[in-house]
Amino acid sequence: MENRRKKIISWAVIIVVITGIAFGAGFSAGLSAQPEINKVTDLQDKTLGMPQNVDFSPFWKAWNIINEKYVSSAAATTTNDQDKVWGAISGLAASLGDPYTVFFPPEENKIFTSEINGNFDGVGMEMGVKNNIITVIAPLKDTPAERAGILPGDQIIKIDDNVTAGMSIDEAVKLIRGPKGTAVRLTIARQGKKSPFEVSVVRDTIEIPTIDTKLKPAAGATSASTTPAGPQRNGVFVISLYSFTADSPSLFQNALRQFIASGSNKLILDLRGNPGGYLEAAVDIASWFLPPGKVVVSEDFGQNGPPVYYRSHREDIFNKNLKFVILVNGGTASAAEILAGALQEYGIAKLVGTTTFGKGVVQELESITPDTSLKVTVARWLTPLGHSISEMGIKPDIEVPMTADDAAKGKDPQMDEAVKLLSQM
């Protein structure tokens, strides 16, 4: 995470990554130095990092025609040559048809940097592209989006008056975020609703939540509080993990200490609405439950290189007496899917809920210039058994839907099923 090539498993946020960086750099240099069509051969010199088998003459022809003939439809609108370069690189990234491969010009780069560092004003939800539609992965806990009733799986049809068809994730994010106290209108299509509806969300400063713990009574019990005789050993300990930040491993370790101190052997890890975060955090947390050296996830680079395996790196601290359920839903994404998928496939935990979002791609952030960057999809995540997370998401062992009506009434059938299942183990 600290090196130059930052691994991003999620943060589609609150955003949500093209190789060929040398190509982009050479492209920029060439545009500045050689604006004539007859200079194309010079542009393909290896010293500029240009491919030898690509004909750039159509690009230069279009460049010169625009410079010579274009008249803006708005008198006050001008585009300088550098903006054209940024637009060309953006088009290059968009040509791949990957919603997560995006170029950030200077202003967008500032926004992205602030968001990935966790400091931004907005509505507090992560989005992805599903079936070519901008889709909510999950609203973050205690954010304007959650308070406005936004749900995982909601499709965003319009942002204010802007139709989202054909819009990239980062374009959508740019429209949604804004100064604290201002409002954005979202037109939502939701499964079970006959027609789209509008939701007005007031922006606020977003603080990414991390973790909560509590002790619940087991099925049939009335209380899980401690007694003079000691901890409530029949209770169910719940760890709700909302994101995978740099602090998540240490916070999770403290939560495990609380779990052990409770005397319970029944654990629920609630990953519903967890949009992911840092890969290292997911591997570290999985390592508490797996013997050392077990594959947690692998990185498949296709034809670009051999796979990379991420393995558990400590002694597992729990024996077979642990009864473990993980709650998942359509808002469980990326690093959260990695953790859930690994513990499910090794038989450590049962999954309850609905199928996860299916964001199993790896992005790296590359600097193009000091104030621009390129977010690049470089690989896909595979579970320990080699299943692609992106293709179908992670399916739960026990499927339990949860409707908007359930949430409105304060009901949680998924949690109820998890508690029931633990009591029967």
Structure tokens at 99: 């919603």
Contacts of 396 (CB under 8 A, 6+ apart): 328, 351, 352, 353, 354, 355
* Strands in 148-260 per DSSP E: 155-159, 162-163, 183-189, 197-202, 204-206, 211-216, 236-241
Active-site residue flag, 359: yes
Question: What is the 3-class SS of 301-352, one letter each residue?
Answer: CHHHCCCEEEECCCCCCCCCCCEEEEEECCCCCCHHHHHHHHHHHCCCCEEE
Active-site residue flag, 200: no
Annotated catalytic residue within 334, 364, 366, 417: 334
Alpha helices in 117-228 (DSSP H): 144-147, 169-176
Cβ proximity of 173 and 13 under 8 Å: yes
Cβ proximity of 364 and 171 under 8 Å: no
DSSP string spanning 86-107?
A: HHHHHHHHHTT--TT-EEE-HH
Cβ proximity of 180 and 123 under 8 Å: no
Contacts of 409 (CB under 8 A, 6+ apart): none
Cβ proximity of 111 and 177 under 8 Å: yes
Annotated catalytic residue within 39, 84, 174, 345: 345
Active-site residue flag, 390: no
Neighbours of 337 (CB within 10 A): 29
Annotated catalytic residue within 359, 373, 375, 417: 359
Active site members: 334, 345, 359
